[in-house]
């Protein structure tokens, strides 16, 4: 459901006066109401705080966001949330990326560092001409592009967290542009990673955030799929778990394996806060880009959005919310119902579609693909979702909008189906979705011919 920016267990303080310069340097007043510290499971954990304030001389509400970090000696330091831009040799993309990033509310030039893999001159010049710091990774001879990328990411994360005061880092790539509230999104939901041990990343991207499916800019979801396009890294996980065992290739696939994921999830928005502009790259071609990336939506609303509460995304609260939604849902018994275009509908009474999947029982191989065949392709064709079922999934459930309806797409083998699926209901199978797609095409053709 919906919600405000603040949760009772989160240190989000609205409409407080902005800190003056002296208070910023000393860490602010010792006002506990303005410093509701997060409970942490380690003395080395950060203490985060987000302040929202009225920007001086601006009638439009703006957020002043700062991150307070406690070091092991208990001294309170103020650190801007660092942003690492992973780059190689695409100068034009990097210029667009930095121009967009510098226009994001709250982003400071001093918080950005470009990490270039190698020394290609025009790319280096793009960063320096825009007044952005740049660090170079000396490339070594490797066998494949995925190995170069993995090696470079290890360099980036190692360098960022070499500063022991840095607790979080936003990681983006050179071929991305950003929503006005890109930084605010991360600052709002970073505390969830400290509060909930079942969350291991926050991403600004949504693989299924297509124009036709992503309608509610206030919504944030959980998924088992690691989303690595504009994401927030947490010091404890990166330094203690990942870097000592970093893979030689395909680093993102590696992070999706059970051994690294450990049952944890990523948070991501329904409407993406970044957009991939790279039509060609190591893992991208023009056909793939046109089919997927080019169709994704980017939040372009200039004003602040009342986002769902961070507390609502804690696992227990999230499960309770989904249970309530399923209990109040309209159960779809004929796929033709879904093709009817309705007025925009909130998720207070979603439409739930149960399907024969068994995805909850399937595992991923090292490339992130399902190891056994599934009926997912006709389902993805029907709704316009990614052809890989794990993208955006949470315990066998996908959530999105379809023809203005709030839809919960539920695997009949999931815990949600066991608890909520009507006993007389036969879940839809892949053949039924395929037939519905062909019927839709035939209907369009008949109208066109008529």
Which of 110-128 are b and which e, b meaning 16 or more Cβ less than 10 Å from the residue's Cβ? ebbbbbbbeebeebbebbe
> What is the spatial distance between Cα 291 and Cα 411, in angstroms, rounded to a whole number?
25
With beta carbons less than 8 A apart as the criterion, state whether 101 and 81 touch: no
> What is the spatial distance between Cα 119 and Cα 89, in angstroms, rounded to a whole number?
8
Residues in the chain: 450
Which residue bears the tokens 């970073």? Answer: 190
With beta carbons less than 8 A apart as the criterion, state whether 71 and 77 touch: yes
Among candidates 69, 80, 82, which has minimal Cα distance to 27?
69
58 Cβ contact partners less than 8 Å away, ≥ 6 residues apart:
none
> How many CB atoms are closer than 10 A to CB 230?
26
Residue 293 annotated to the active site: no
Which residue bears the tokens 């149960």? Answer: 354
Distances (CA, A) of 111 to 1, 80, 153, 322: 34, 6, 18, 37
In this structure, the dihedral spanned by the alpha carbons of residues 173, 179, 183 and 187, taken in order and rounded to 10 degrees, is -120
Among candidates 311, 349, 339, which has minimal Cα distance to 433?
339
Distances (CA, A) of 265 to 56, 201, 417: 38, 7, 20
Q: 385: which 2 tokens? A: 């979702």
User: Could you tell me which residues are beta bridge partners of residue 76?
Assistant: 70
> What is the spatial distance between Cα 178 and Cα 274, in angstroms, rounded to a whole number?
4
Of 207, 252, 293, 411, the catalytic one is 252
- Active-site amino acid positions: 252
């Amino acid at each position: 459901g919906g919600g405000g920016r603040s949760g009772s267990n989160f240190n989000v303080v609205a409409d407080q006066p902005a800190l003056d310069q002296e208070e910023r340097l000393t860490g602010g007043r010792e006002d506990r109401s303005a410093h509701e510290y997060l409970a942490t499971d380690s003395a080395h954990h950060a203490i985060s705080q987000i302040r929202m304030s009225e920007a001086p001389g601006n009638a439009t509400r703006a957020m002043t966001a700062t991150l307070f970090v406690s070091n092991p000696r208990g001294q309170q330091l103020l650190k801007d949330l660092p942003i690492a831009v992973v780059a190689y040799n695409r100068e034009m993309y990097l210029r667009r990326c930095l121009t967009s990033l510098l226009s994001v509310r709250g982003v400071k030039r001093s918080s950005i560092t470009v990490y270039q893999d190698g020394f290609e001159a025009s790319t280096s010049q793009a960063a320096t001409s825009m007044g952005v710091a740049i660090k170079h990774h000396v490339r070594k001879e490797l066998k494949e592009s995925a190995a170069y990328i993995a090696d470079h990411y290890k360099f980036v994360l190692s360098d960022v967290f070499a500063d022991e005061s840095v607790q979080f880092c936003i990681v983006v790539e050179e071929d991305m542009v950003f929503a006005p509230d890109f930084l605010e999104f991360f600052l709002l939901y970073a505390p969830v990673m400290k509060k909930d041990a079942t969350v291991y990343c926050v991403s600004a991207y949504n693989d299924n955030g297509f124009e036709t499916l992503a309608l509610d800019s206030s919504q944030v979801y959980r998924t088992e799929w690691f989303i690595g396009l504009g994401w927030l890294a947490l010091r404890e996980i990166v330094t203690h778990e990942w870097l000592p065992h970093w893979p030689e290739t395909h680093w993102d696939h590696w992070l999706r394996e059970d051994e690294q994921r450990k049952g944890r999830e990523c948070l991501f928005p329904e409407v993406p806060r970044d957009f991939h502009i790279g039509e060609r790259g190591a893992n991208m071609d023009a056909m793939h880009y046109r089919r997927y990336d080019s169709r994704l939506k980017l939040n372009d609303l200039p004003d602040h959005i009342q986002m769902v509460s961070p507390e609502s995304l804690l696992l227990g609260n999230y499960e309770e919310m989904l249970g309530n939604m399923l209990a109040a849902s309209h159960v779809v018994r004929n796929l033709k119902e879904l093709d009817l275009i309705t007025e925009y509908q909130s998720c207070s009474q979603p439409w739930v579609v149960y399907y024969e999947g068994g995805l909850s029982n399937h595992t991923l191989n090292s490339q992130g693909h399902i190891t056994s065949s599934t009926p997912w392709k006709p389902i993805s064709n029907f709704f316009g979702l990614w052809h890989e079922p794990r993208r955006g999934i949470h315990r066998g459930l996908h959530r999105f909008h379809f023809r203005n309806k709030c839809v919960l797409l539920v695997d009949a083998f999931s815990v949600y189906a066991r608890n909520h699926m009507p006993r007389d209901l036969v879940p839809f199978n892949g053949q039924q979705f395929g037939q519905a797609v062909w019927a839709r095409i035939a209907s369009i053709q008949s109208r066109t011919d008529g």
